[in-house]
Amino acid sequence: MWDRFLRACRREPVDATPVWFMRQAGRYMAEYRKVRETHTLLDICRTPELALEVTLQPLRAFEVDAAILFADILLPLEPMGAPFEFAAGEGPVIHEPIRDRAAIDRLRLFEAEEGLPHVLQAIRLLRRELDGKTPLIGFAGAPFTLASYLIEGGKSSHFVRVKRFMYDEPEAFSALMHKLAEVVRRYLHAQIAAGAQAVQLFDSWVGCLSPRDYREYVLPHVRHILSSVATAGVPVIHFGTDTGTLLELQREAGGSVIGVDWRTPLEQAHARLGDGVALQGNLDPLLLFAPRALLQRRIDEVLAGAPRQGHIFNLGHGILPETNRDAVKFTAEHVHRVTAG
């Protein structure tokens, strides 16, 4: 069943539980490292033929039920006027981090057809390749997660700068979140128009906030995006990590599928969120390093805790570069084997 991923997102019956992996294309695959020998990450993102190739690599290697466009959540920052690079070993580096209202006012709203045409072209190429075989997921970063990179200037462990800015200058912070939300809203609509059959909003770092602060500083902006994207008629996966205390608020903000990380058992997430949304998750990516028998047991436990209709098997966060690909292959096959029929 080529569309079991889309059917599960809509909480329809499936022949087997669909599975895909966040960061399913990446450094843990030799084929990917080979492409990276001659191209930077940004080269790949900016060259539709390379993005196509890398997106297809995990589909050739594993029984995955969805393709995720190869791109990065930070790509919209450059056309907004905040260029960055991926520095080896350091992750993203924003050249001029945003630290005041004037810098926020200088950020531009843009249309994806003008600012990120290569991403939309990659989606069109992928749809030609995958049509009727594997559904294609588009994605974007959520405003808080993007704001954290913009303000911190890169990765952060305690989010000191972004939270201080949020508390000290709530109006400027809100103006930034407004701009980011509008950029992301347009970008997701453009991806869907180009052919993305589902989209995922990555709010990877929002779990550093209390429910109180999430409701005040984040929820309205995420709702601005998701209430609009809902009208496009494709499934929307709303993902975050460390969101055990935020799941109900995330559901309130929108999305037809809620991503759950491994810190919250799926049965608990299901009991709290009810049958109105599908769930995606939630194996700890570190279990891919565990002895096979333990990995198998934990996969079985995830499946046992999942809703009968409306579960997409995934990790609770992305695959790590050191991961052994045999464990990834085993996981996809095992999920299909035990849930088929």
- CB nearer ligand CP3, residue 92 or residue 143: 92
List all residues 6 or more positions away from 231 whose beta carbon is below 8 Å from its beta carbon.
Answer: none
Quote the least distance from Cβ 81 to ligand CP3, whole Å: 19
Identify the residue among 50, 73, 98, 166 touching ligand CP3 (CB under 6 A). 73
Instruction: Tell me the number of residues near ligand CP3 by CB under 6 A.
Output: 21
Within 10 angstroms of residue 96's Cβ, the number of other Cβ atoms is 13
**Catalytic site includes residue 217:** no
**Catalytic site includes residue 27:** yes
- Tokens read off for 153: 């200037």
| 199 is an interface residue for ligand CP3 by CB under 6 A | no
CB 304 within 8 A of CB 270: no
What is the spatial distance between Cα 171 and Cα 338, in angstroms, rounded to a whole number? 52
**Catalytic site includes residue 149:** yes
CB 195 within 8 A of CB 135: no
| 202 is an interface residue for ligand CP3 by CB under 6 A | yes
| 328 is an interface residue for ligand CP3 by CB under 6 A | no
List all residues 6 or more positions away from 243 whose beta carbon is below 8 Å from its beta carbon.
Answer: 203, 206, 207, 250, 260, 261, 264
**Which among 16, 56, 18, 3 has a CA at the least distance from the CA of 312?**
18
What is the spatial distance between Cα 324 and Cα 11, in angstroms, rounded to a whole number? 32
- CB nearer ligand CP3, residue 24 or residue 264: 24
| 280 is an interface residue for ligand CP3 by CB under 6 A | no
- CB nearer ligand CP3, residue 11 or residue 148: 148
**Catalytic site includes residue 36:** yes
| 70 is an interface residue for ligand CP3 by CB under 6 A | yes
**Between residue 133 and residue 152, which ones bind ligand CP3 under the rule CB under 6 A?**
139
**Catalytic site includes residue 60:** no
Identify the residue among 3, 6, 18, 24 touching ligand CP3 (CB under 6 A). 24
Q: Give me the helices (H) in 74-230, please.
A: 77-80, 101-106, 112-115, 117-130, 143-152, 160-168, 170-194, 211-213, 219-229
**Which among 197, 195, 217 has a CA at the least distance from the CA of 206?**
217
- CB nearer ligand CP3, residue 160 or residue 304: 160
| 28 is an interface residue for ligand CP3 by CB under 6 A | no
Identify the residue among 10, 23, 127, 251 touching ligand CP3 (CB under 6 A). 23
The contact set with ligand CP3 (CB under 6 A) reads 22-27, 36, 41, 68, 70, 72-74, 86, 91-92, 139, 155, 202, 204, 318
